Chains A and B, each alone.
Chain A
C-alpha cells in the first residue's frame, strides 16, 4: 500500500492478477504450455457500485470472477478487499471472508442442488455465516424471496418446479441472505428469455438502489450490462482493454474491440439496423494458450498498424476517466482519448 491517495480503499481491487492453467500432455502429464486465461488484470470495484465486465466467451471473465471469489488461486498478482490483501487467505479466515462476496451463476438449474428444497438452499449461507435458529432462518428465507419478488410458498419447492427466471431470482435471494458487500453475477441473464431477462435486470437495478451492494456484472452482451452498470470494463484474451464510465464506453468507445462488439449487436429496428455501419471482425478469438504478440487484438483489428504487431500498447487515461490500451491513442493517427468513431474521417477501416 504505497499509494498516497487519501480516499478510502476500494471495495475490491485486483492488481496484475494472472491465472495460467497448465496444459498437460502425455503419460507423465508433462506441461507443454499454459492457457493464459487471465493475464494481468487491474480492476477496481468501488463500494455500492456496479461494474460491468464484458467480452466474448473465452476472454477470461468467469476465471476473473472465480479468482476474485478465491475459488481458484491466482498464479500471480494481488487481490485486495477493502484495502487488505486477501490473495493468500485460507482456512477459517477465507471462509469468514466469503460472507462478503456472493455469486450468482449463469445456469440457474445447475446452480441449485436438485435434491434439496429451496429453503435448504437458501439456508446454506446463513448456516455458514449467521447465528440464527431454524425459525429465524426460515423467516429470513421467506423475506428474501419476497425481496426478489417471489412468494414464500416456494420455500418447500424443489428446483425443477421453478422456471429459469424464478430460479435465477432465488439464486439472487440466496446470495443476498448474508448481506454481502459484493455480488458477482456471472452471466446471470444469458440463459433467460427476453421477457424474463428484463425482469431480472430490473431486479438488479432495484437491489442496487435499495441495498447498496456492489456488483461485478459479467456478461457477453454490452447492451445488457449498460442498464445496470456505472462502469464497464471490456475484456479480450485475458486482459482488460478498456475500462470507463458506462455511457462513455457504450456511446463513445475508445478501443476498436469495444467498437466492434457494439456494432455486432443487432438493434431491433429494421431501418436502423440496415443502415448502421457494421464492423465485422474477421476470424475467431485466438487461443489464449498462444496469444498474439504485441496488441492481442491485432489479428482481428480493422485499424491495425505495424507497431501493434510487436509492441504491447501502454495504458492511456482519457479525461473522462476511461483507461484504454490501444496504440491509436498514442501513435499513428493519434486519437489521444477521442472515441474510435472519430477515426472514420481519418482512416476508414478496410471493412
Chain B
C-alpha cells in the first residue's frame, strides 16, 4: 500500500510539469500584442504598456518566462494582480477554503442522495423506484446548475423567505449561519452530482449483481442485505470512485457560476473579475490552484481505488 501511494504521488510529477506549462501558456491565447491588450487595449498608455511588459517579462523567450513563473510559483508566489496590485497567492489563500467548503458540501449532498438512490434503483431494475429515479436523475444531469440555483433562490429566499438569498459566513465564526448560507448553493451544485452518481452507481451495481461471484454468494445462502451491502457494493464502488474523482473537477467549475449567483466571496468571483479584465496573473493563479486541487483530490481517489481493489494492492 505504501509503495502504491508513493507511486501515485511520483506519477504526479510529470503531470504537474505539463499542467503548469499549459497554465502558463494561457497567456499566449491573448490575441495581438499581449502587453497592449493587458494594459487596457486601445486606450492603454505607453507607460502602462511598458510597465506590464516589464512586470510579466514579456520580452523574454516563452520558456524563460515559464521557468521564472514556475520558480516563483513553487515558492508560493503567483505574482500580483495587474490592477488591484495585491498578491495573487494571498488573495487565493483567503478564498480557496470557501470554495473548497462549497465543493465539499455539494459532494456531501451528492453522496447522501446519490448513493442510496443508486442502490435502491439497482435493487429492482425496471421497478417503480428505478423508473422514477431514472427520470429524476436524467433531469438532474440536464438542468443547468445556475438555473437551479436561481429557482432555489426564488423559492426559498424570495417567496418563502426561509433562507438567505446570498452571502457567506465563515464556518468558524458562526457554524449555523454558515450552514444557512451554504445549503442552497450546495443543493444547486450537488443535484447534478447526486444524479450522475446515482446513475453510475446503479449501472455499476447492476453489472456487479450479474456477476458470477454474486451468484456464488446467493448460492451460499446470502441474504439480500449481505449480497448488496457486502458483496456488491464494495466491487461497485471501485468504478464509482474513479467517477467521483472526475466529478470533483466538474464541481469546481460549477462553483464559479454558483458563487457568482450567491455572491459567495470564493475563487469564482475573483476569477471572473480577472477574466473580464484580462488580469493574467490572477487567471493563471486561479487556474493553477484549481487544477492542483483537482489533481490532488483525484490522486486521493486513485489511492482509494487501489485500497478497494486487491488486484492493485496485492501483487
Tell me the complex Cα distance, A114–B7, Å.
Answer: 40
- The chain A residue with its CB closest to the CB of B7 is A27
- The chain A residue with its CB closest to the CB of B3 is A26
Tell me the complex Cα distance, A27–B14, Å.
Answer: 12
- In the complex, whether B11 has a CB less than 8 A from a CB of chain A is yes
Report chain A residues within 8 Å CB of B10.
Answer: 27
Consensus secondary structure, chain B interface: helix
Tell me the complex Cα distance, A27–B10, Å.
Answer: 8
Interface size on A, residues (CB 8 A): 2
Tell me the complex Cα distance, A174–B7, Å.
Answer: 47
Interface size on B, residues (CB 8 A): 3
- The chain B residue with its CB closest to the CB of A26 is B7
Instruction: Give the tally of cross-chain contacts (CB within 8 A).
Output: 4
- The chain A residue with its CB closest to the CB of B8 is A27
Report chain A residues within 8 Å CB of B11.
Answer: 27
Tell me the complex Cα distance, A26–B315, Å.
Answer: 11
Tell me the complex Cα distance, A26–B7, Å.
Answer: 7
Within 8 A of B (CB), among A13-55: 26-27
Tell me the complex Cα distance, A26–B6, Å.
Answer: 11
Tell me the complex Cα distance, A26–B10, Å.
Answer: 11
Cβ proximity bits B1-17 to A, threshold 8 Å, 1 near / 0 not: 00000010011000000
Report chain B residues within 8 Å CB of A27.
Answer: 7, 10-11
Within 8 A of B (CB), among A240-290: none
- How distant is B119 from chain A, measured CB to nearest CB, in Å? 34
- How distant is B47 from chain A, measured CB to nearest CB, in Å? 51
Tell me the complex Cα distance, A205–B11, Å.
Answer: 56
- How distant is A289 from chain B, measured CB to nearest CB, in Å? 13
- How distant is A227 from chain B, measured CB to nearest CB, in Å? 34
- How distant is A152 from chain B, measured CB to nearest CB, in Å? 39
Tell me the complex Cα distance, A93–B7, Å.
Answer: 44
Report chain A residues within 8 Å CB of B7.
Answer: 26-27
Tell me the complex Cα distance, A260–B162, Å.
Answer: 82
Interface residues of B (CB under 8 A from A): 7, 10-11
- Pick 4 A–B contacts, CB within 8 A, sort by A: A26-B7, A27-B7, A27-B10, A27-B11
Of all A-B residue pairs in the complex, the 4 with the closest CB atoms, nearest first, are A27-B7, A27-B10, A27-B11, A26-B7
